[in-house]
Amino acid sequence: MPSSIGTALRVTVFGQSHSQAVGCVIEGLPSGHGIDARRLAAFMARRAPGHASWSTPRKEADAIRILSGLNPDGRTCGAPLALIIENTNTRSSDYSMLRDVPRPSHADWTAQVKWHGEQDFAGGGHFSGRLTAPLCAAGGIALQLLEGHGVRIAAHILEIAGISDQGFAALGSSRQASALATQMDMLSDGRAFPVLDQDAGAHMREAIDAAHAQADSVGGCIECVVTGLPAGIGSPMFDGIESTLARAIFGIPAVKGLEFGMGFGVAKLRGSQDNDPYEIVDGKVRPAKNYAGGNLGGITTGAPLLFRMAVKPTSSIGQEQRSVDLTTQREVPLRVKGRHDPCIVPRAVPVAEAVAALAVLDSWLAWPPDPPTDARFD
């Protein structure tokens, strides 16, 4: 069972919901970069559980301990950076029955099929959403590095339970960059429930509470944008920025859909509508609009990289569901106990940003805008 991603920047994630710790190793991090521990902790806090009505009451400090990869001055030294987050609040007894009765739409049963009962079933094991904590840690570090080069990444809740937030102003011309920057500024306060339209947000929270009251859960959709990228990042075909992001994004538990730019909307457009003409802005070639979502042929255009991802409702719900007892091979009712988020979308927002940061930094390092001939040898 591998758990790595990346080419030039490779992140290997380890840990299970109830193992001693979760963590990751980051290979390929450029040297000489300081890490702002306070900002990293603030980023982690956005994902951390236990802070709101829509979040599991399982409390984890999610404190990061960096084991290696820094030089005596505290900057990245080029060697692999390993970090761990201790699992301090595990209540395995909540989960002991999962060995026999798989929770619907969790990986309990597929893991059982694959590992014949040797998998760590406790709390979902390696499939647990807990694994997004080290992903966020790695992504938070990548984000700091990218920000040092003018890149910004922001995500928000676009939809929950059919209620929509306002979208990013990212499909238009580069002349409208300030509108998008204003939206991103609004989100930069690290809000726990990141939406652009506060009224929509209030309605979403009501929908979450309503589902919660019925021991149910709700799904949603997240929109993420990356600005400040130069043109030329990515590679054709399977190492394009879309392919790289897609592999990473579908590695996040509960993601069921992904689209770039106009996304599925292209099915209703003509070429004359969808195509982004070119114009000259400030003496430079720029797409006149950005239906392509910031890349063509897998290579960035310099326009905002924009994607949306669908997040399914939390599978763990308190309502009675139909399942089977794997030992007796009989159908049995199941009521999932334990502590669950009625909606994981809010906590998945920083995860989207983190994974975007990892994929973008990897693509930048692996498939950068090519230097003029031979410069790479100097």
Site for a second copy in 253-272 (CB under 8 A): 253, 255-272
According to CB under 8 A, which residues from 181 to 240 bind a second copy?
Answer: 211, 216-221, 231-232, 235-240
Least distance between a second copy and beta carbon 182 (Å): 26
- Residue 57 or 236 with smaller CB distance to a second copy: 236
Q: Are 121 and 49 in contact (CB under 8 A)?
A: no
23 makes contact with a second copy (CB under 8 A): yes
The mark string for 355-374 relative to a second copy (x by CB under 8 A, - otherwise) is ---------xx-xxxx-xxx
Q: Which of 185, 206, 331, 335 binds a second copy (CB under 8 A)?
A: 331
Least distance between a second copy and beta carbon 328 (Å): 10
115 makes contact with a second copy (CB under 8 A): yes
Q: Which of 182, 188, 285, 335 binds a second copy (CB under 8 A)?
A: 285
Q: Which of 137, 184, 200, 299 binds a second copy (CB under 8 A)?
A: 299
Least distance between a second copy and beta carbon 233 (Å): 9
107 makes contact with a second copy (CB under 8 A): yes
- Residue 91 or 149 with smaller CB distance to a second copy: 149
Q: Are 310 and 221 in contact (CB under 8 A)?
A: yes
38 makes contact with a second copy (CB under 8 A): no
- Residue 190 or 236 with smaller CB distance to a second copy: 236
Report phi then psi at 221, rounded to 5.
-145, 140
Residue 65, burial from CB neighbour count under 10 angstroms (0-12, 13-18, 19+): exposed
Spatial distance between the Cα atoms of 122 and 94, rounded to a whole number of angstroms: 8
According to CB under 8 A, which residues from 85 to 104 bind a second copy?
Answer: 92, 102, 104
According to CB under 8 A, which residues from 308 to 327 bind a second copy?
Answer: 310-317, 319, 321-324, 326
Q: Are 228 and 153 in contact (CB under 8 A)?
A: no
Spatial distance between the Cα atoms of 283 and 105, rounded to a whole number of angstroms: 53
Task: Tell me which DSSP letter residue 7 carries.
Answer: S
Spatial distance between the Cα atoms of 34 and 39, rounded to a whole number of angstroms: 12
- Residue 14 or 59 with smaller CB distance to a second copy: 14
Q: Which stretch binds a second copy (CB under 8 A): 41-49, 54-62, 188-196, 244-252?
A: 244-252
Q: Which of 2, 38, 178, 327 binds a second copy (CB under 8 A)?
A: 2
Q: Which of 123, 55, 63 is nearest to 93 (CA)?
A: 123
Spatial distance between the Cα atoms of 32 and 81, rounded to a whole number of angstroms: 13
- Can you state the angle between helices 241-249 and 345-366, rounded to 10 degrees? 140
Q: Are 103 and 318 in contact (CB under 8 A)?
A: no
Partner residues linked to 5 by β-bridges: 11
The H-assigned helical ranges of 116-176 are 132-147
346 makes contact with a second copy (CB under 8 A): no
Q: Which stretch binds a second copy (CB under 8 A): 53-61, 121-129, 165-173, 188-196?
A: 121-129
251 makes contact with a second copy (CB under 8 A): yes
The H-assigned helical ranges of 148-193 are 177-187
Partner residues linked to 286 by β-bridges: 279
According to CB under 8 A, which residues from 159 to 178 bind a second copy?
Answer: 159-162
Spatial distance between the Cα atoms of 317 and 293, rounded to a whole number of angstroms: 35
Least distance between a second copy and beta carbon 311 (Å): 7
According to CB under 8 A, which residues from 44 to 73 bind a second copy?
Answer: 65-72
279 makes contact with a second copy (CB under 8 A): yes
- Residue 140 or 294 with smaller CB distance to a second copy: 294
CA-to-CA separations, 341 to 6, 51, 294, 370, in angstroms, rounded:
30, 11, 33, 45
Structure tokens at 57: 């009451």
Q: Are 322 and 241 in contact (CB under 8 A)?
A: no
Least distance between a second copy and beta carbon 98 (Å): 11
74 makes contact with a second copy (CB under 8 A): no
